[in-house]
Amino acid sequence: MAQDRPSSASVRKREARATSLSNWQRRCEASSKGRWTFRLIPDVGEWTGRKHGQVDFYLTQALSGHGCFRNYLKRFGHKSEDFCPSCGSGVTEDPLHILFDCRRFEEDRLTLEEILEEAFTPSSMVPQMLQTPVKWEAIAVFVAKIMTELRDQERARNGREE
């Protein structure tokens, strides 16, 4: 039956998508930029093919490392130091530290791990998000809380409380 076979247009579309994803994956693997994002999202196809979850402002900051992290702010001359104010000199305040290690967010991280029923690590973050909508939401709420707090602290330091 001709109706059971996919049309040549849909086959071409599927092939073009597969080629595009393959090229994107190769570029991600070869690039020296975006290493943090690639560490969290090593498989572009798995990420783009997910069945649930919307990426919001806060997840974008956490997944890209472009937020109120002191190492990011220092890179652009907005901070003179990049150390974590809670953990001290020698500990860089970057997304890895803030999301997975910083003692400021220990209670929130423990609460998240209770919901996830497993450890929250850089290598498990995205796979956990992709498992279920409940886990996606738990991680999104955790990230939003942290990113909001970092933003509020930065505004307070700069005298721009809102």
User: Would you state the pLDDT for residue 160?
Assistant: 60
Residue 101 has pLDDT above 60, yes or no: yes
119-148 pLDDT, tens digit each:
999 999 999 999 999 999 999 999 999 999
Residue 162 has pLDDT above 60, yes or no: no
- On the CB side of 161, how many CA atoms lie within 13 Å of its CA? 2
**Cβ contacts of 93 within 8 Å, gap of 6 or more:** 69, 70, 71, 82, 83, 84, 85, 87, 102
Q: How far is 12 from 62, CA to CA, in rounded Å?
A: 35
Residue 159 has pLDDT above 90, yes or no: no
8-29 pLDDT, tens digit each:
888 899 899 889 999 999 999 9
Question: SS3 sequence, the chain?
Answer: CHHHCCCHHHHHHHHHHHHHHHHHHHHHHHCCCCHHHHHHCCCHHHHHCCCCCCCCHHHHHHHHCCCCCHHHHHHCCCCCCCEECCCEEEEECCHHHHHHCCHHHHHHHHHHHHHHCCCCCHHHHHHHHHHCHHHHHHHHHHHHHHHHHHHHHHHHHCCCCC
Residue 3: band (very low, low, confident or very high) from pLDDT cuts 50, 70, 90: low
* Sequence spans of domains, the chain: 52-157
55-71 pLDDT, tens digit each:
999 999 999 999 999 99
Tracing tokens 């997944």 back to the chain, one arrives at 63
Please indicate whether residue 162 or residue 149 has the higher confidence score (pLDDT).
Answer: 149
User: Would you state the pLDDT for residue 128?
Assistant: 98
Contact indicator for 74, 82 with CB cutoff of 8 Å: yes
User: Would you state the pLDDT for residue 2?
Assistant: 53
